[in-house]
Amino acid sequence: MTGALADEPATQPVRSSTEVFRSGRVIDVRSDVVEMPDGSTAVRDVVVHPGAVGIVALDADERVLLVQQYRHPARHRLWEPPAGLLDVDGEDPLAAARRELFEEAHLVAARWDVLLDAFTTPGMTDEAVRVFLARDVSAAPGAKYAGRHEEADMPVRWVPLDDAVAGIFAGRLHNPMAVMGVLAAAKAQETGFAGLRAADAPWPARLTVKATRS
């Protein structure tokens, strides 16, 4: 095999599919009977997720913005990039990222790029995330957004990028968007952020996932 290494869209035949749980909030759970390459079948439970965006915001001193949020399933208050669900049908991911940066940090950014795309836990969920790099950051005009529930208590810190990287390797930071985003930003920084995709770059992996639900 030659050429650049790339994940490939694929699907095994699905003999039957049953919705076993509908939360009415973020996730649903589907149970698929999947035909395996040898002709046998296996049941695969899938957590159906709308997808999400995250924002690695860097200031002029190349500090990264992190917010601390309580995550009940993990029983931790995690330091994370601003992030949010893509739970509005048809919403543009960049528009969602701009909204989340405003709501969680009361900031706007003049420069946006795609930093990375990922499936967070492909063995159990179809959640696809896009992490943006936001630069030329400044305070947003107007009143701050009033968060609810966990978002009503979210401390905000600007952390030197190198310190955030060190925190990841020391095992102090665990949020997957933080780990992926911070490490990707640190690597991109080495080349002056050359080669990043435009903020409106296609996101075929998420489109493929959404197509399997129809």
Q: pLDDT by residue (tens digit) across 178-189?
A: 999 999 999 999
Handedness of CA 36, 39, 45, 50 (dihedral sign): positive
Task: Identify which has the larger pLDDT, 27 or 212.
Answer: 27
Question: Is pLDDT at 214 greater than 80 in this prediction?
Answer: no
pLDDT at 26: 87
CA separation (Å) from 68 to 80, 112, 153, 193?
6, 23, 8, 26
pLDDT of residue 152: 61
What's the confidence (pLDDT) of residue 90? 85
What mean pLDDT comes out for the span 101-106? Answer: 94
Q: Annotated catalytic, 151? A: yes
Domains of the chain: 14-48 (no CATH), 52-199 (3.90.79.10)
pLDDT digits (tens, 9 = 90+) for 125-178: 999 999 999 999 999 988 786 667 766 678 999 999 999 999 999 999 999 999
Give, as one character, the DSSP assignment of residue 11: -
% pLDDT > 90, the chain: 81
Segment 85-101 shows an average pLDDT of 93
Strands 107-119 and 128-139: antiparallel
Q: What's the whole-number mean pLDDT along residues 8-34?
A: 92
Binning pLDDT at 50, 70 and 90, where does residue 1 land?
low
pLDDT surpassing 90 at residue 28: yes
Query: Is the full-model pTM beyond 0.95?
Result: no
Q: Give Cα separations from 163 to 64, 65, 66, 131 (angstroms).
A: 9, 12, 12, 20
Listed in sequence order, the residues at least 6 apart from 26 whose beta carbon sits closer than 8 Å to its beta carbon are 49, 50, 85, 87
